Amino acid sequence: MSDLFSHQGEINRRALAPLADRLRPRSLEEFVGQEEILGPGRLLRRAIHADRVGNLILHGPPGVGKTTLARIIASSTRAHFTSLNAVLAGVKDLRVEVEAARQRLERHGLRTLLFIDEVHRFNVAQQDALLPWVENGTVTLIGATTENPFFEVNKALVSRSRLFRLQPLEPRDLRVLLERALADGERGYGGRPVELTSEAADHLLDVAGGDARSLLNALELAVESSSADASGVIRIDLEIAEQSIQQRAVLYDKQGDAHFDTISAFIKSLRGSDPDAALFWLARMVEAGENPRFIFRRMLISAGEDIGLADPQAIVVVEACAAAFERVGLPEGLYPLAQAAVYLAGAEKSNSLLGFFDALRSVRATNRQEVPSHLRDANRDGAAFGDGVGYRYPHAYAEHWVAQTYLPAALQGEVFWLPGHLGWEGALQGRLQRRRAAQLAAAAESTADSGPLLSSGPDDAELERWLQRQAAAEGERLDQLRQRFWQGTGWQRQDRTLILAARSLLWALDPLESCPEGGVVISVDSAADQERLQAQSQLLDSLRSPRLLLLDPTRPGSLSEALEPGERFEWLVGRSPFQGLAPEQWQRLLEELVRLASPGAQWRLLLSGPLLGPAGALAERLARPGVTKAGQDDRTLPELLRRVSLEEGAWLTAQPTPAELKGALESMNWQVEQESWQESLTLELSETAYQRWFSPGAAYRIRLETVLNPVEIATVEAGFRGQLRGPLPQRLLHHRLIAHRR
């Protein structure tokens, strides 16, 4: 009798069940949608047919078939099916089901498939209680959740389950369900005269938003609340449909996937400069009740991460809009909220501030991070250890900048901030790159830093004053030399430039920037120079990179072989490009270069040479008042230096004279103009320079041996050793040659 009443109760329940529940598909053939996982040949479909489903967690938005799919699996399996709803069940209910499953397995060998709806609602203790029985196979779990299981479900349960993500239903799938509901006489409205206009159907499909339950509930409300007309037909038009489902449900859980996915779409729309998409995702968050303060916080991050210095005002605008929102509140506060979003979407973009994280990685990876001596605090022990000595005060120089190094020695040449091409930092880019190139050129063309002082001696006030007066920034000096070298140039955008025997990119900056449609070729004399210039050229990201060619000056034809056939140049330039070549060598090279000149070509050559050799410079230094001469034989050293300096004039002539070059060019029908000037500077007597001059086999030492005996050479060597790290005066003579075809 009880079974009879139970059966009748089930019949009554089904008759009174909502339309969405009555129309649940009962087999895979009836199931609609989710073709990606349930289509023919798909993994889950094969597993269901083979009754080898295993532990499953189905997650996705409401109304896409999670519970329905679990019931279909239950009807297709030879296992016993039982279900719990995590909202209503507790640990006690779970233990009852597990115990029953254990007995079925032990007594009858029957597996149990346990379906837990809203499994994410189980707390940690409940999920932990379930884990051992899932692990030993007492129950096979099928969980359904609207939340991301990676965040809301026990990680151990997730690791033992196969996850399937169900997507919102497509309009075509919803239409199938709608037509089925109208045609099914047993579970739907097939036995009743219901007519649905196409406009009403389209509205229901559109507003349902991929939720089958929402669609069928709206249809049920429309049919059950509408009266038949005179002919007995229930007609559902657009007006009734709109009343039945007036507003699309916004799927949005502030702690779940919808929250993170939507804010991600919003930020990516700002980054992608799409104000329309940004406003849409912003409206979705506002409509779902997202806290505007959270949105403002994310926009402040975006202003720094995605816009940065392309538009420094972006962060100011967002901060001002956030303050305005706090003052006016909702709903008027939506105006500054939208204003901030549209401003960020429309602003120029740059992520150059990510360079800070490159700097962080270098801090963690670089062993030696000592502050360079000239940057150290000179107020404490600077007098004893030279801290702060050599620092150049930028405000004392033109444009309030001077090319001195600021990074530790181990990081020289590192670049952490690469400005973008747009907005505020875009305008800064060219100037910054020129300055970086000047610093690198100074490092390449001047003596290297020999490190901080590690010991202290008696004060030498006069020497300190001399250093402060004479120390000049090598980078600024070379940059001024570059400007004078290119003075009066009339560039054409398509000009091609050949730069000879370059040791830095400094001389290439002007043609690289002024001739974007032409090209720059740089010849180098050594593989080391080629490697260094390749590294430097990576910094010139806004300029067309030059071509670097390794040229053997003794084989002038090797240059033509490396060039494209017929390639010619409007500019042939170089600073002392024939240094160290014998007369017949530089003459053959000059002839080869003339053949590479275009009809309207121009030569620009800068010949620079020292007027003082090492001995002459040291003699001038020792003659200055107040310079310490401790440990030196004052009677013999000056005389030895004078004798050597008389010979150094011939030693220093390692390139053709301006007159020789001018004569050679004029003989090849070129008209040559010459300008000459002197430059005074100070060079540090470094350990590197000392070894280059006096180590066994050094060219300078070999020449000394032609003038002095070993004892005298030892005296001169001791004199240089006693002045290590001291400044040596130097005077350079520059000649600029400009040549045009006659």
Span 5-24, pLDDT tens digits: 444 555 555 556 788 778 88
Residue pair 540/434 in contact (Cβ under 8 Å)? The answer is no
pLDDT for position 662: 93
Beta bridge partners of 603: 572, 739
468 Cβ partners below 8 Å, 6+ apart? none
**Which distant-in-sequence residues (6+ apart) come within 8 Å of 280 by Cβ?**
269
Q: For tokens 């000459």, name the residue.
A: 676
Say if residues 117 and 146 touch (Cβ distance below 8 Å): no
- Angle made by CA atoms 481, 485, 488, in degrees to the nearest 5: 130
Helix, strand or coil, per DSSP, at residue 117: strand
Identify whether 729 is preceded by a cis peptide bond (ω within 30 of 0): no
Q: Which two tokens stand for residue 532?
A: 């260094």
The secondary structure element, H or E, covering residue 182 is helix 171-183
DSSP string, 654-719: -S--HHHHHHHHHHTTEEEEEEEEEEEEEEE--HHHHHHHHSTT-HHHHHHTTTS-HHHHHHHHHH
Helix (H) or strand (E) holding 646: helix 637-651
Report the C-alpha gap between 725 and 738 in whole angstroms.
38
**Calpha distance 224→234 (Å, rounded):** 9
For position 300, what pLDDT does the model report? 92
- In whole angstroms, give the CA distance from residue 641 to residue 643: 5
d(CA 596, CA 561) in angstroms, rounded, equals 12
CB 590 within 8 A of CB 721: no
Among 476, 518, 517, 473, CA closest to 499: 518
Q: Distance (Å, rounded) from C-alpha 299 to C-alpha 337?
A: 10
Q: Which amino acid is at 189?
A: Y
Dist CA 577 CA 523 (whole Å): 10
* The amino acid at 114: L
- In angstroms, the CA 520 to CA 571 distance is 9
Cβ neighbours of 615 (radius 10 Å):
25
In this structure, whether the domain defined by 171-244 belongs to CATH 1.10.8.60 is answered with: yes
pLDDT at 668: 94
Q: Are 692 and 698 in contact (CB under 8 A)?
A: yes
Q: What does DSSP say about strands 162-165 and 56-59: parallel, antiparallel, or unpaired?
A: parallel
Tokens 């001596």 -> residue: 373
Of the candidates 135, 200, 205, 212, which has an alpha carbon nearest to the alpha carbon of residue 166? 212
Task: List the structure tokens of 629.
Answer: 């001469």
CA 317 to chain centroid: 25
Give the DSSP H or E segment for 522.
Answer: strand 519-524
Alpha-carbon torsion, ordered 551, 553, 557, 558, to 10 deg: -20
Query: What is the pLDDT at residue 446?
Result: 44
Torsion of CA 95, 98, 102, 103, to 10 degrees: 70
Angle between helices 292-302 and 334-346 (to 10 degrees): 20
Contacts for 701-706: CB closer than 8 Å, 24+ residues apart: 703/647, 703/651, 704/644, 706/647
As a whole number of angstroms, the distance between CA 641 and CA 618 comes to 8
**DSSP labels, 350-393:** --GGGHHHHHHHHHHH-S--PPPGGGS--SSSHHHH-TTTT---
Task: Enumerate the β-bridge partners of residue 319.
Answer: none
State how far Cα 347 lies from the chain centre.
Answer: 19
**What residue spans define the domains of the chain?**
34-165, 171-244, 257-349, 614-651+686-722
Mark the ranges of the chain whose per-residue pLDDT is less than 70: 1-16, 41, 245-259, 366-368, 378-390, 392-393, 395-406, 409-476, 536, 538-544, 626-635, 652-654
Do the Cβ atoms of 330 and 324 come closer than 8 Å? no
Separation of alpha carbons 241 and 202, rounded Å: 9
Handedness of CA 278, 281, 283, 285 (dihedral sign): negative
3-state secondary structure of 739: strand
What span, in angstroms and rounded, lies between the C-alpha atoms of 648 and 642? 10
332 exposure class (CB count in 10 Å sphere: 0-12, 13-18, 19+): exposed
Residue 31 — φ and ψ, nearest 5°?
Answer: -65, 135
Does the N-terminal peptide bond of residue 577 adopt cis geometry, omega within 30 degrees of 0?
A: no
Report, in this order, helix, strand and coil percent for the chain, each rounded to 5: 50, 15, 35
Question: What's at 614, amino acid-wise?
Answer: P
Structure confidence at residue 571 (pLDDT): 93
Q: Which residues pair with 571 in a beta bridge?
A: 497, 602
Environment class of 601 (CB within 10 Å of its CB; exposed 0-12, middle 13-18, buried 19+): buried
* Alpha helix (H) residue ranges in 225-272: 238-244, 257-271
How far is the C-alpha of 112 from the C-alpha of 98, rounded, in Å?
Answer: 9
Distances (CA, A) of 543 to 71, 239, 598: 65, 64, 23
Contact (Cβ atoms closer than 8 angstroms) between residue 202 and residue 241:
no
Long-range contacts from 337-341, C-beta under 8 angstroms, 24+ separation: 337/282, 337/286, 337/292, 337/295, 337/296, 338/279, 338/282, 340/296, 340/299, 341/266, 341/270, 341/275, 341/278, 341/279, 341/282, 341/299
Q: Identify the bridge partners of residue 140 per DSSP, sorted by sequence position.
A: 113
| Cα 508 from Cα 514, distance rounded (Å) | 10
Q: How many CA atoms lie within 13 A of 144 on its CB side?
A: 22
Residue 573, strand partner residues: 499, 604
CATH 3.40.50.300 fits 34-165, yes or no: yes
Backbone dihedral region of 88: left (phi > 0), alpha (psi from -120 to 50 degrees) or beta? Answer: alpha
Say which residues have a Cβ less than 8 Å from residue 265's Cβ, sequence separation at least 6: 277, 281
Domain 257-349 = CATH 1.20.272.10 = yes
- Could you tell me the CA-to-CA distances from 428 to 279, 309, 418, 514, 577 in Å, in that order? 32, 10, 11, 17, 33
State how far the Cα of 400 lies from the Cα of 431, in Å rounded to an integer: 13
